[in-house]
Amino acid sequence: MSDLRVIFAGTPEFSLASLKALVDAGVVPVAALTQPDRPAGRGKRLTASPVKQYAAELGIPVLQPVTLRDDAIVAELTSLQPDVMIVAAYGLILPQDVLDIPRYGCLNVHASVLPRWRGAAPIQAAILAGDETTGVSLMQMSAGLDCGPVYEVQTLTIGADETAGELHDRLAALGGDLLVARLADILGGRVEAVPQDESDASYAGKIQKQDAELDWTMDASKLERRVRAYNPVPGAWFHIDDKRTKCWRARSVDNVDATPGKVVEYGREGIVIACGSGGLSLEELQLPGKRRVSAREFADQLDLSGRTLG
């Protein structure tokens, strides 16, 4: 496959795993499409995406259009005469005139078992829903959101305590491995794409910071999943007075019956907050401007004994 002309489209760390897998397999893209540099970190400095940084190291030409609905970028992509475009968490919708450019079309590496969890945040959605399994789908792209026919799916089990960050890393590696294992067969017509069942489709929209707020009236098991789903981004949070406090690790506990938000245990042995059903034992927390600490250390920083959190 070393003579294959590939355009790779991707932006975050999830994409990078597939790009590296291609390069390691001897398939060096003729160009990399990635999102424009964005402000990042406390200083809000413009920062290149992981895909751009890696492509630049290898001397792969990088394209960063704000939109693909532009005649100039369509002409530039066409001039590259790609055999295939491989897309992994790129972040922009591909219009039909872009989808039509590669000889073999556009192939997407998606972090769910389609048609479940189409959209921007499938990893978080799977954890929030309490799914026991998820996986990676290789899909032929078509106009629409993750709705094209699927060539191949590989699944894995979601760990009982697994965070979105941990699951992300496993799925990214799985996606890269599956891509290079099946790419030649897909392009050679030896794998048939199966249409998705629209009646089973579900969607995972973009995550907003307010989605990660812990609402103590919810069941403790759902709040535990919320903590896992939003670790590391944006981080589950709740207010202590005017302090937005992050919770990075927690587990649900039974036999807690008190007003939601009531601090029923607080001390060096742990912190338990009453919920709509059960309680949430907070295990790793972070006050604004402070480092992450265990519940034991947090209990030394702030006294919440007997309080009810809003």
Please identify, among 182, 204, 226, the residue that sits at the C-terminal boundary of a domain: 204
Q: What is the CATH number of the domain that holds 222?
A: 3.10.25.10
Helix (H, G, I), strand (E, B) or coil at 124: helix
What's the pLDDT score for residue 237? 98
In a domain, 270, yes or no: yes
Number of domains in the chain: 2
* Rounded CA separation 234/212 (Å): 7
Please identify, among 170, 204, 238, the residue that sits at the C-terminal boundary of a domain: 204
In a domain, 308, yes or no: no
The answer to whether the CB of 5 falls within 8 A of the CB of 22 is: no
* pTM, full prediction: 0.95
What's the pLDDT score for residue 304? 86
What's the pLDDT score for residue 281? 96
> Which among 37, 22, 166, 1 has a CA at the least distance from the CA of 87?
22
Mean pLDDT value of segment 144-148: 93
Residues 83, 54: one domain? yes
pLDDT digits (tens, 9 = 90+) for 176-224: 999 999 999 999 999 999 999 999 999 999 999 999 999 999 999 999 9
Residues 265, 283: one domain? yes
Domain range for 270: 209-301
What b-and-e string marks burial along 105-140, b requiring 16 or more CB atoms within 10 Å of the CB?
bbbbbbbbbbbbbbbbbbbbbbbbbebeebbbbbbb
Residues 81, 173: one domain? yes
Phi/psi for 300 (5° steps) reads -85, -15
What's the pLDDT score for residue 44? 80
* Rounded CA separation 298/185 (Å): 54
Q: What is the CATH number of the domain that holds 19?
A: 3.40.50.170
What's the pLDDT score for residue 299? 87
In a domain, 246, yes or no: yes
Residues 80, 157: one domain? yes
In a domain, 1, yes or no: no
What's the pLDDT score for residue 280? 97
